[in-house]
Structure 1
């Protein structure tokens, strides 16, 4: 069983990955299994604890964090075959779990607009379009207010992102521009 986060898009489930002494990941182990209908078949399993050196299996030298999307942490962590929770790090908030949360989930969620905010923006877009059709001058005033509010909040958000260590490349991506354009536009304000 892996780690999940409600904030993540589909295809992101974190888990512990076994690492061999040469730094590679071992191939999946083929094991006999039984289907719900009782039919037997051979399945593949790559759970880190299977790589314990017994029954001809390779022995894990270390573990690292992995994600179903293919991401892997660069840091490796010690293996304790007697204490799966210590190896996993979930209960203590360290090890592979912490690496997955900080390095992968943090990057994915950090730049993702929360659903409630995205819904509010979409509702406002629809309302302004309807207002432009029925009362154009009121729509001009409303859009001008939104623009002024948006500009101020954008600068505030960039300032916070820079303080949190965001790169100009990531800020450029978030604003739909280049690193250089983002830097030129927003770096004039003291942080």
Structure 2
């Protein structure tokens, strides 16, 4: 069983597609953020956490929940919210959100299927590098292990700085700035894809 969490759902390699529980009101609409007056002048705290839509303090009352993603995807199934149970437990993490989570997981499977897959040999090499770096923490001489980690990081950064900028510029030219296609290939949201292109296009290594 998957329970509600205060942080969003994330999958390694697809972090920009952060998932969360979304809510719907009785009329089927999706409410905007809830605002909290922190008593410090014009400063307000904003939240979209599902448990804040409980109808208290004139907040909207959600009647159902569904999966949602940072890419604007929304789940097609809805699940009723039993506010009595939520209030009795007095802990949103104790409430079962496995339905919305399962739909988000299926959405991420689809995102991953449409993203460009790494060649098997390259994926294996990257896995070996990560595993070997992890083993450096266990060196008998910790100082040598840390130094080796930093040297390895330097080598990796040099490789990225050599290949990243041209790959980013070529990808942008290939798709003629069609950010939706680039985002799909990278398995990211359009906002994250745009930020990644800008990062690599201007990356340098000294």
Task: Calculate the TM-score normalised by the size of structure 1.
Answer: 0.51
For 1:12, the equivalent position in structure 2 comes to 17
Q: CA deviation at 1:69?
A: 1.3
CA gap of 1:105–1:114, structure 2 versus 1, over 3 A, is same
SS in 1 for 2:108: helix
Structure 1: tracts of 5 or more residues without a match: 121-172, 175-191
Q: Does residue 76 of structure 2 align to residue 71 of structure 1?
A: no
Deviations along 1:53-86, one digit per CA (max 9) or x if unpaired, are 1111111010110011111111111213334346
Establish whether residue 97 from structure 1 lines up as the match of residue 122 from structure 2: no
The Cα shift of 1:50 comes to 0.8
Q: Which one scores higher on RCO, CA 8 angstroms, separation ≥ 6? A: 2
Alignment match, 2:55: 53
25-34 or 10-19: bigger deviation: 25-34
Length, aligned pairs only: 115
Q: What is the root-mean-square deviation in Å for CA atoms of aligned residues?
A: 3.3
Give the Å deviation of 1:33.
4.7
CA shift at 1:3, angstroms? Answer: 0.3
User: 2:158: which partner in 1?
Assistant: none
Alpha-carbon distance between aligned partners in 2 of 1:118 and 1:17, rounded to the nearest angstrom: 39
Residue aligned with 1:15, SS:
strand
Rounded to whole Å, the distance in 1 between the matches of 2:120 and 2:79 is 37
Superposed counterparts of 1:1-191, under 5 Å: 1-8=7-14, 10-33=15-38, 41-81=43-83, 82-83=85-86, 84-85=92-93, 87-89=95-97, 94-102=98-106, 104-115=107-118, 117=120, 119=122
CA distances 1:139-190 after superposition (whole Å, capped 9, x unpaired)? xxxxxxxxxxxxxxxxxxxxxxxxxxxxxxxxxx99xxxxxxxxxxxxxxxx
Unaligned runs of 5+ in 2: 1-6, 87-91, 124-183, 186-206
TM-superposed deviation, 1:88: 4.8
Distance 1:49 1:59 in 2: 10
CA contact (8 A) 1:80 1:86 kept: no
Quick check: which has more Rg, 1 or 2?
Answer: 1
Q: Could you tell me how far apart the structure 2 residues matched to 1:118 and 1:60 are?
A: 48
